[in-house]
Amino acid sequence: MSKRVALISTGEELLTGETVDTNSAWLAASLWDHGLIARRMLTAGDDLEGLNWALSAAGDVADLVICTGGLGPTEDDRTAEAVAAWAGQSLVENSEALSQIEARYRARGREVSAANRKQALLPAEAVVLENRWGSAPAFAVQRGGTQVFCLPGVPVEMRKIFEAHLSPQLVVDDPPTLVRIRTFGVAESRLQAMMAKLDLGAADLGFRAHIPEVQIKLRFGPQVPEEDRSAVTATICGALGDAVFSVDGGDLASTVIERLTSADQTVALAESCTAGMISAWLADVAGASAVLMESAVVYSNAAKTRAVGVDADLILAHGAVSEPVARALAEGMRARAGTTWGIGVTGIAGPGGGTEAKPRGTVHIAVAGPEGTVHQHAVIPGTRAQVRRRAAGAALALLLKSC
């Protein structure tokens, strides 16, 4: 039988809206990759009453509870105290945890303060999970048939500890097969409508919208033959066409790096409204140095002319946000860098700057390559950040369609 899982996030900042709970979203996605589904997501503040409520509610419905946050050195970090009470154990100074804390501080040339020593106070029967990425030890506690893992709330620490300590334990008997189809350029509601009449066989269907892409998640039971899974995947990809850019692969940037690397091709970018976002996204992918040759942020008209060679008269005649300027950016950057591909992006991210002819969200994207230059125009909805992120995705998607 598959484990029943519940997630608890702690911290007053989550309840006030000062911090967005990205930990639960990441954990839910990681559990899904292991063939598990989070059945409950609970949020509690730093008070013992709230923490006790969350632990009791999660323990009533789950075999496995993952709790993030509240392991720091300050007085409002009370997760260990709450878990000890929930498990019916005393709170004691754990010598293993203290040793790890002292080693971390010694490596930094610092002494362990009384506040930091507090982080070694754990439930008496806790199993310590070493935190090699921070100072707060993680730990696990068992009560009856429920196991609780307590991890730091700092996302990078939480993720590293999950991968090091929890992931190897999340072994599911007869696990399902999970397929993720990644799409760009079609809204979630439209994707669902396009797939409404498709025969999905024994697949459980889910969607995940994560700007700038939408993921289609297929979950097949352990007895479904591979040929049946492949047939369903092929049916969906055939129906969605160019909207699909990856099956069980990486995001747009990873797919671009993989595609260009395999073809021994390179790219350079001239970015206006995206202001280096596309270049940074590509650079986050290991191996980008073999593909990404050069990038220029050309926000002003003068920069477009000086850095990429866009004719000032062209800008004067058509405006900076226009098809001719986007084409000139792509072609000028490709020529300057001597790359296989050049990308040019210009637009109005908002919230101001729009006109009736060129409203907020207007974006022009061009990709120059060996066979010429292609252009795409869109009016992208959303906030300034969303417009920029979607424009970045559109540029990479247009490159994938071109190469």
Using the 8-state DSSP alphabet, how is residue 259 labeled?
Answer: H
83 three-class SS = helix
Which residues on neighbouring strands pair with residue 15, listed in sequence order? none
Q: What is the mean pLDDT of the chain?
A: 94
pLDDT tens, residue by residue, 108-143: 888 888 888 999 999 999 999 999 999 899 999 999
Q: Which amino acid is at 62?
A: A
Q: Which helix (H) or strand (E) holds 206?
A: strand 204-210
Domains in the chain, ordered, with CATH? 5-169 (3.40.980.10), 177-247 (3.30.70.2860), 252-402 (3.90.950.20)
Encoded tokens for 401 = 């369609």
CB 217 within 8 A of CB 32: yes
The answer on pLDDT for 176 being more than 50 is yes
Q: Which of 88, 94, 52 is nearest to 70 (CA)?
A: 52
Encoded tokens for 237 = 């990809």
CB 274 within 8 A of CB 326: no
With bands split at pLDDT 50, 70 and 90, how would you rate the model's confidence at 1?
Answer: very low
* pTM attached to this predicted model: 0.78
CA distance 216 to 187: 11
Using the 8-state DSSP alphabet, how is residue 205 labeled?
Answer: E
CA distance 273 to 135: 40
CB 271 within 8 A of CB 345: yes
pLDDT tens, residue by residue, 313-367: 999 999 999 999 999 999 999 999 999 999 999 999 999 888 989 999 999 999 9
pLDDT at site 2: 63
Phi then psi for 222, rounded to 5 degrees?
Answer: -65, -20
Instruction: Specify burial of residue 154 (Cβ count, 10 A radius: 0-12, 13-18, 19+).
Output: buried
Phi then psi for 291, rounded to 5 degrees?
Answer: -120, -50
Q: Which of 325, 343, 323, 346 is nearest to 333 (CA)?
A: 343
pLDDT tens, residue by residue, 150-164: 999 999 999 999 999
pLDDT at site 174: 79
Q: Which amino acid is at 262?
A: S
Phi then psi for 374, rounded to 5 degrees?
Answer: -110, 155
The answer on pLDDT for 253 being more than 80 is yes
pLDDT tens, residue by residue, 189-217: 999 999 999 999 999 998 988 899 999 99
CA distance 296 to 302: 13
pLDDT tens, residue by residue, 316-327: 999 999 999 999
pLDDT tens, residue by residue, 213-236: 999 999 998 899 999 999 999 999
Mean pLDDT across 95-103: 93
Q: Measure CA 28 to chain center.
A: 12
Neighbours of 381 (CB within 10 A): 10
Q: Which residues contact 74 (CB under 8 A, 6 or more apart)?
A: 115
CA distance 118 to 121: 5
Residues in the chain: 403
pLDDT tens, residue by residue, 283-294: 999 999 999 999
CB 59 within 8 A of CB 47: no
Beta strand pairing call for 91-93 and 121-123: antiparallel
Beta strand pairing call for 127-129 and 213-220: unpaired
